[in-house]
């Protein structure tokens, strides 16, 4: 435990400007990020008598060993930078809203030449249009299926699109009328983009114009006795009406609004958001958060709105259960003039109460799940610490595994669990080659040594690897028995590290082996500690196998190009990056190959001749007519 007075900066050295500050621990990790209108006034509050500080604040300042700050021009810049740093550094003492589940979105890739409609759970790339989030994947897929009947926009992946383009034949969706087949030139890029814009316009709530247009076309076709066309348009109209029926009207004035409700207790908070477009609920999402500082409802609402709108687009109205601390800064952050308020009467107040009821229920369910999970995780860590005779429970565990196929394409994996939960942002893969790949023990020695070298190497604290790996594990777990544990212990000893525990888990009898021990530690079959160790081992094995398979597949594709004269490693990588498989390279023409960096006309001809088993045409000097060597 650090004494805050040992790292307290002199008051006169702290600027009075707006800014963002970071507290770091003894390992250089950022543990708290905050913003301030006046840095001097805000930081001075942290260095008061410890007895007057909030319990959570006291725990943070005694964990930290240093503080630094960055000055910005405005409070809005401070709000944005704080959000960015919280995402980047994942500080342990900050309130971080986490989705209570992963929500699907409907995305339209307007940044591509031929926009694509697809369902995704990933963040939105710049330039794309997204709709949602939706609560069920099947619901949005059903919506897409209905919409493609009327707006046949491309929905295939890039690989399927390229294959159809090379073959000159559209996929099944093109044949059944649910894709306009831009891959084969059935529609121009301009007309296809217009279709995508109409798709987005309808999904955004501007439904009336499209319904009227189709109805007018249907009546005109019927009047011209073109009953087949009229029947098709009637089915299109019914499909769009069915899409609209899926979302009932909740606001009679066809408002575009986000309704955000917050419910909290002393330890946790729950946020629920309803996205209303054109008076209809178009999506819903929720977050839960553990409160690790002295934030109140207004502070939590500010952070929730910053999370929503720093990277996303705000509607005309934002209706909230609590006004944020800095409402004006949130309005500026959205980039447009929004109506941010707490509704006091009418249907908007009633709908917000429904959102709050959802938040209350989400918090109740989260507490039930968390109580069970936290109890089991705490017991697992305590039991494991006792079984391995550690001075305290191992809060950070790193597990390593080696994967290969008969000594080829050797890889290592590192997975990280903190407080009994996986921390996937700190997983790492290792490629093992040379003498280190001769057997499993040599590979394990190499991987453990390389990982711990990051801990010992005094890189700048802002270096990405340093941030991710400078923080030492409480326990290193290796997949294997005595030989693997001995190899890992040699790596630890060679680096002079004495404060990291080490153990191995053998697959056959699920035994825990400690360095130098003649007999293993046997954990009870129903032990929570054994379940945790097995989960770590299985996760490390899965991560290693995934990397090994991708590396092996790449190597197999690359080996097929080894016989092509004049094709070095860099050009082979460039070809596979562009075409993915040797089959696709073989089916390409010379012009397509020449689009790859470093591939000229002569080399393109050699590549195709070698892969197709043909004799290449001789190169001829155009000036003299002589055959070139």
Residues in the chain predicted with pLDDT less than 50, given as ranges, are: 100, 249, 616, 619-620, 622, 627-628
| pLDDT for 150 | 78
Dist. CA 187–CA 151, nearest whole Å: 13
Dist. CA 284–CA 277, nearest whole Å: 12
| pLDDT for 514 | 92
> If you search the block for the tokens 């293993």, which residue do you land on?
520
Query: Domain coordinates of the chain in residue numbers?
Result: 4-92, 105-245, 257-365, 396-547, 560-612
Contact in structure between 121 and 104 (CB atoms under 8 Å):
yes
Instruction: Report phi then psi at 505, rounded to 5.
Output: -120, 120
Contact in structure between 442 and 450 (CB atoms under 8 Å):
no
Do the first three CATH levels of 257-365 and 396-547 match, i.e. the same topology? yes
| pLDDT for 206 | 67
Predicted TM-score of the model (pTM): 0.54
CA distances from 107 to 53, 125, 199, 285 (A): 46, 9, 11, 16
| pLDDT for 128 | 79
Dist. CA 285–CA 321, nearest whole Å: 16
Burial class (CB in 10 A: 0-12, 13-18, 19+), 456: exposed
Burial class (CB in 10 A: 0-12, 13-18, 19+), 109: buried
CATH architecture of 396-547: 2-Layer Sandwich (3.30)
| pLDDT for 322 | 92
Write down the CATH number for the domain with range 560-612: 1.10.150.20
Write down the CATH number for the domain with range 4-92: 3.40.1440.10
| pLDDT for 266 | 75
Output the DSSP codes for 515-556: TT-SS-B---TT-HHHHHHHHHHHHHHHHHHHHHHHHHHHHH
Residues 314-363 have pLDDT tens digits of 888 899 999 998 888 888 888 777 889 999 988 888 889 888 988 888 88
Record: fold of 257-365: Nucleotidyltransferase; domain 5 (3.30.420)
Dist. CA 540–CA 431, nearest whole Å: 15
Dist. CA 88–CA 86, nearest whole Å: 5
């Amino acid at each position: 435990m650090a004494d805050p007075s040992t790292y307290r900066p002199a008051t006169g050295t702290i600027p009075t400007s707006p800014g963002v500050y970071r507290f770091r621990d003894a390992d250089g990790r950022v543990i708290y990020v905050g913003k301030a209108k006046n840095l001097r006034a805000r930081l001075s509050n942290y260095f008061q008598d410890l007895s007057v500080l909030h319990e959570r604040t006291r725990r943070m300042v005694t964990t930290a060993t240093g503080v630094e700050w960055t000055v910005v021009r405005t409070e809005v810049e401070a709000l944005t930078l704080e959000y960015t740093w919280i995402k980047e550094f994942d500080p342990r003492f900050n309130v971080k809203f986490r989705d209570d589940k992963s929500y699907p979105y409907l995305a339209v890739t307007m940044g591509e030449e031929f926009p694509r409609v697809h369902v995704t759970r990933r963040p939105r790339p710049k330039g794309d249009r997204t709709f949602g989030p939706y609560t069920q994947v099947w619901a949005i897929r059903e919506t897409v299926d209905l919409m493609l009947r009327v707006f046949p926009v491309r929905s295939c992946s890039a690989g399927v699109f390229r294959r159809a383009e090379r073959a000159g034949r559209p996929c099944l969706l093109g044949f059944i009328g649910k894709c306009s087949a831009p891959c084969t030139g059935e529609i121009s890029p301009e007309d296809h983009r217009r279709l995508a814009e109409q798709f987005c316009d309808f999904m955004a709530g501007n439904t009336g114009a499209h319904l009227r247009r189709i109805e007018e076309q249907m009546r005109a076709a019927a009047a011209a006795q073109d009953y087949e066309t009229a029947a098709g348009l009637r089915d299109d109209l019914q499909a769009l009406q069915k899409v609209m029926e899926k979302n009932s009207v909740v606001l009679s004035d066809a408002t575009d609004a986000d309704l955000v409700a917050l419910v909290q207790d002393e330890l946790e908070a729950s946020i629920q958001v309803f996205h209303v477009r054109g008076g209809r609920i178009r999506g819903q999402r929720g977050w839960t958060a553990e409160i690790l500082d002295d934030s109140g409802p207004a502070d939590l609402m500010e952070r929730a709105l910053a999370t929503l709108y720093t990277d996303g687009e705000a509607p005309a109205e934002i209706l909230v259960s609590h006004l944020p601390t800095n409402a004006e800064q949130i309005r500026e952050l959205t980039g447009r003039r929004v109506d941010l308020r707490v509704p006091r009467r009418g249907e908007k107040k009633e709908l917000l109460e429904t959102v709050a009821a959802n938040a209350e229920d989400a918090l109740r369910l989260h507490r039930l799940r968390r109580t069970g999970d936290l109890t089991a995780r705490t017991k697992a860590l305590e039991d494991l610490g006792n079984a391995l005779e550690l001075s305290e429970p191992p809060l950070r565990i790193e597990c390593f595994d080696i994967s290969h196929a008969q000594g080829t394409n050797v890889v290592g994996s590192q997975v990280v669990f903190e407080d009994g939960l996986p921390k996937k942002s700190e997983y790492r893969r290792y490629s093992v080659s040379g003498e280190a790949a001769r057997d499993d023990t040599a590979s394990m020695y190499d991987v453990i040594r390389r990982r711990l070298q990051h801990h010992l190497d005094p890189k700048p604290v802002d270096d990405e690897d340093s941030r991710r790996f400078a923080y030492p594990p409480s326990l290193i777990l290796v997949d294997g028995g005595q030989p693997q544990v001995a190899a890992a212990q040699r790596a630890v000893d060679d680096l002079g590290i004495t404060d990291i525990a080490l153990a191995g888990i053998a697959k056959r009898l699920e035994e825990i082996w400690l360095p130098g021990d003649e007999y293993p530690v046997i954990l009870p079959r129903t032990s929570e500690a054994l379940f945790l160790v097995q989960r770590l081992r299985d996760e490390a094995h899965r991560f290693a196998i995934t990397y090994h398979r991708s590396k092996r597949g790449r190597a197999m594709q690359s080996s097929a190009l080894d016989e092509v004269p004049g094709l070095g490693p860099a050009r082979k990588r460039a070809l596979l990056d562009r075409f993915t498989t040797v089959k696709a390279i073989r089916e390409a023409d010379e012009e397509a190959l020449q689009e790859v960096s470093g591939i000229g006309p002569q080399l393109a001809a050699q590549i195709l001749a070698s892969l197709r088993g043909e004799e290449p045409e001789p190169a001829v000097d155009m000036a003299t007519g002589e055959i070139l060597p």
